[in-house]
Amino acid sequence: MNLSPFLAVTGGGSSRLLTMSPVDLLIIIIYFLVVLAIGFYLKKFASTGEDFFMAGRKMTAWVAGLSFISANLSSLETMGWSAMAYQYGMLGAHAYLIGAIPAILFLAVVMMPFYYICRTHSVPGYLKLRYGEASRSLAGISFSFMTVLVCGVNMFAMATVLRLILGWNMHFSIWVSSVTVAIYVSLGGLLSAVFNEVLQFFLIWLGTLLVPILGLYEAGGWTKMIATINAAHPGQNFTSLWANMGSANNNPMGMHWTGMVFGLGLAVSFGYWCTDFLQVQRVMAAKSLRSAQNGTIIGAVLKMCVPLIVTLPGLLGLAILTQKAGITLMPEYQAQATGGHSYNQVLPLLMARYLGPGLLGLGVSAMIAGFMSGMAGNVSAFATVWTYDVYRPLINKKASDAHYVSMGRWCSIIGVLIAIVTAYGAMLFSNILAYLQVLVLLFIVPLFATVILGMLWKQATPAGGFWGFLIGILASFFMFFYVHWFPGYYLPFMEKDIRDLPALAQKIQMAKEPVSQFVVAQMPPDTRKLLDQYVVSEKAGSGPVSLWGRIEEAIKEPNPEVLALRSGIVNAMNAAETNTLYSAERFSAVSLTPEQLALARQKLDGDDLARFNRSLLEKAYPGELARMRRLEATQLNPVHAEQIATSPKAQDMAVNMFSAFWSLLITLGAVIMISLFTEPKPDSEIKDLVYGMAPLPNEGTCAWYAKPTLWAAVVGVILVVVNIIFW
């Protein structure tokens, strides 16, 4: 399709925000070369399974702690929670305080001794020892599925950001990053991933810290920034951690404090930090139990510092982008529909505002490092879990260690290739956050409930562990689908409901039949002008299109003017929600069903009228418009959301937190109930796997400053103080 006439008329062009200087490009090239060099150098240290999958268990506490937190500090993390801070204010910082620190300390003090004494390669490996092969296989398969899909979302998000800030081609960005990760992880395994994560940790901080520093300077300091935000949002509290959580009506998240404490602070946080193997694998690679525990606590300290480069940019976006630059950000699906900027772009927009030549290269390298850190973490975790928890027990039980190392290398490459496919698949989703929530929240919380009961309750049985885990996963999926389920169909048209824009635009623009005349009459002059220009451009570019050309058209980002036209057509379609669209003359050329003709003789109102009007338009444009759907992944059913999250004002975040808490309770209840009626393992088989049945490992005396319990207590006190300061 040739859009040049259309662009010439409308002035459409690139949405690129930044221009790279030769110095910036050189910095990025050097970064890629260093990453690959580390992978090739470390290959000689990863010849055995212990070396490849667990880095030889030789990491010091500081290296393990840096890797532990860096594996979490991907650009999905920095971008996503900056977006949350813009959307919800200081409430977004809970992800780094109550939503992380208590769970990390619990992992260090309580759970790490069990993981380390088992010498298991993975969390599913612990399930095998505690419950049996069935539980291990379920965890291994579900976790392998989740990791490659999350890796694909990392690729897609990185490619989207590089297109936004640099104008790079989407396909080039995906393949360069994925091939680089595949090479260095397949060569050095976890050892390579860990060392690159340490490098990426410092690069992320160096490249991102300038944004909040320069932003605070422009805003006039912390106090003036807070005052600007409060003045711009009267009656809303964007600047408190807890003061606005006494009622779901008092904060932009629509969540009561119980959802934050029990949903995020307990279910999601403990599930993620204590049983997500992507995280646990890093500290399990430490050279001793004490190093593993202290490394985890070091990670907790570093985690509390992350709001400086994540939450603070989101608040600066509210104070500077909105108030000084005149840029108002919006939800992802609205940005895709209108060509505007989404919440997810607050950090790149601030980078565009503050970073010049040289600094830009450092900042972009930091963002690439963040994405690649997330990708590498998922790929190395996938290789380990697939090899040890799926391939070895279910496919090839008696192969040599060298064979499993070879399988791990190939899994790294295969995992990346699968992730590339999922990255292209993610382009079809209008809401990536919803996609990630399905992949992360719905698997990890049931896993944590199963593991923690196995560690703390010796009566938990193999049947209880397996079936409780499975019931928890199914219940989590049910709740996710339930809040997006509309029994009477989702009624308004959305931009994605336009299946064939060229055909629909031509029919409406010609306005030969009464229905199209009605739709055109609902359009403002600007939309009519866009419609005329678009039809002209389509006719100029008409002709045969190759299969690859069709694929490119399907996956590339539409021009902003095309998005605006889609939005305008949808608004015109929805204009008849409160008045009947039907008349015998208007639909004389449309073949209506007997049911529709019967409804036309009735006096309808409310949802019945809206549903009838939409069915009429679907009948008038059968090939151009999608049919009504009961499941709408980008919209919440407010009635169902209130049943899950206790408030009709609950936003996505609140619904997810409450869903996670209910999932935790359901899984715990299922494991307990089934265990009461089934046979547990004998004590001799679980004596080293259940708290209190065997003495914890004793590594001897150490200096006071090396005691994990002391530093865990210190970090806990600091957490309380921070919450009081920002109450």
Q: What is the pLDDT of residue 170?
A: 64
pLDDT digits (tens, 9 = 90+) for 322-361: 766 667 776 655 665 556 667 777 877 787 777 766 677 7
Please tell me whether residues 500 and 626 are part of one structural domain: yes
**Assigned domain for 111 exists:** yes
Report whether pLDDT(18) > 60.
no
DSSP three-state, residue 393: helix
The CA-CA-CA angle for residues 439, 51, 413, to 5°, reads: 45
Q: What is the CATH number of the domain that holds 164?
A: 1.20.1730.10
pLDDT at 681 over 80: yes
Helices (H) and strands (E) in the chain, counts: 35, 2
Same structural domain, 627 and 714: no
Report, as an integer, the average pLDDT of 391-414.
72
Confirm whether 590 is domain-assigned.
yes
Q: Which carries the bigger pLDDT value, residue 418 or residue 586?
A: 586
pLDDT at position 254 over 70: yes
pLDDT mean over 599-603: 84
Tell whether 258 is covered by a domain.
no
Residue 26: CA count within 13 A, CB half-sphere: 6
In a shared domain, residues 423 and 327: yes
Other beta carbons within 10 angstroms of residue 152's beta carbon come to 27
Cα separations in angstroms, 705 against 107, 237, 262, 712: 19, 41, 33, 11
Q: What's the average model confidence in pLDDT over 131-145?
A: 83
On whether residue 66 sits in a domain, the answer given is yes
Confidence (pLDDT) at 463: 93
pLDDT score, position 55 = 44
SS3 content of the chain, % helix, strand, coil (to 5): 70, 0, 25
Same domain for 178 and 268: yes
Higher pLDDT, 543 or 280: 280
CB 278 within 8 A of CB 75: no
Picking from 585, 617, 632, the residue at the C-terminal end of a domain is: 632
Phi, psi (5° rounding) for residue 498?
Answer: -85, 105
For residue 474, pLDDT beyond 90: yes
Residue 485 placed within a domain = no
Average pLDDT, the chain: 75
- Give dist(CA 22, CA 20) in Å, integer: 7
Instruction: Assess whether 598 and 696 both reside in one domain.
Output: no
Q: Are residues 499 and 437 in the same domain?
A: no
- pLDDT of 675 > 90? The answer is yes
> Quick check: 263 pLDDT over 80?
yes
Domain stop point among 613, 632, 651: 632
Specify whether 144 is located in the same domain as 285: yes
Report residue 200 as tokens: 């990426």
Residue range 565-591: average pLDDT? 81
Whole-angstrom Cα distance, residue 343 to residue 314? 9
- Cα separation, 553 vs 615, in Å, equals 28
The total number of structural domains in the chain stands at: 2
Sign for the pseudo-dihedral over CA of 62, 68, 72, 75? positive
Instruction: Taking residues 468-481, report their average pLDDT.
Output: 91
Torsions phi, psi of 357, nearest 5? -55, 140
Percent of the chain exceeding pLDDT 70 equals 70
Determine whether 258 is exposed, middle or buried from the number of CB atoms within 10 Å of its CB (0-12, 13-18, 19+). Answer: middle
Range with the poorest average pLDDT among 212-221, 395-404, 617-626, 659-668: 395-404
Both 618 and 702 in a single domain?
Answer: no
Query: Is position 240 within any domain?
Result: no
**What pLDDT is attached to residue 466?**
93
The pLDDT > 90 percentage for the chain reads 6
The answer to whether residue 369 is domain-embedded is yes
| Residue 51 pLDDT class (50, 70, 90 cuts) | very low
Q: Please indicate, yes or no, if residue 27 is contained in any of the structural domains.
A: yes
Range of the domain at 628: 495-542+551-632
pLDDT > 50? residue 54:
no
3-state secondary structure of 631: strand
Say if residue 505 is in the same domain as residue 372: no
What's the distance, Cα to Cα, between the start and end of the chain in Å? Answer: 56
Ramachandran assignment for 89, one of left (phi > 0), alpha (psi -120 to 50 degrees), beta (any other): left
Mean pLDDT of the region 276-287: 68
DSSP calls for 142-184: HHHHHHHHHHHHHHHHHHHHHHHHH---HHHHHHHHHHHHHHH
DSSP state letter for 96:
G
Q: Indicate whether 395 and 529 sit together in one domain.
A: no
Distance CA 713, CA 545 (A): 66
Are both 208 and 346 inside the same structural domain? yes
Give the residue-averaged pLDDT of 628-638: 81
**CA 351 – CA 211 distance, rounded (Å):** 6
Please choose, from the candidates 81, 129, 126, the residue with its C-alpha nearest in 3D space to the C-alpha of residue 107. 126
Residues near 692 by beta carbon (within 8 Å), at least 6 away in sequence: none
* Burial class of residue 186 (count of CB atoms within 10 Å of its CB; 0-12, 13-18, 19+): buried
- Predicted TM-score (pTM) of this structure: 0.75
pLDDT at 317 over 70: yes
Cα gap 614→581, rounded to integer Å: 9
Last residue of a domain, one of 583, 603, 632: 632
Residues in the chain: 727
Which residues does residue 629 pair with via DSSP β-bridges, in sequence order? Answer: 490
Distance separating alpha carbons of residues 244 and 236, to the nearest angstrom: 9
What distance in Å separates the CA atoms of residue 143 and residue 149, rounded to the nearest whole number?
10
* In the predicted structure, residue 278 carries a pLDDT above the cut 70: no
- If DSSP codes are grouped into helix, strand and coil, which group holds residue 651? coil
Asked if pLDDT for residue 373 goes beyond 80, the answer is: no
Collapsed DSSP state (helix, strand, coil) of residue 691: strand
Averaged pLDDT for residues 494-512: 83
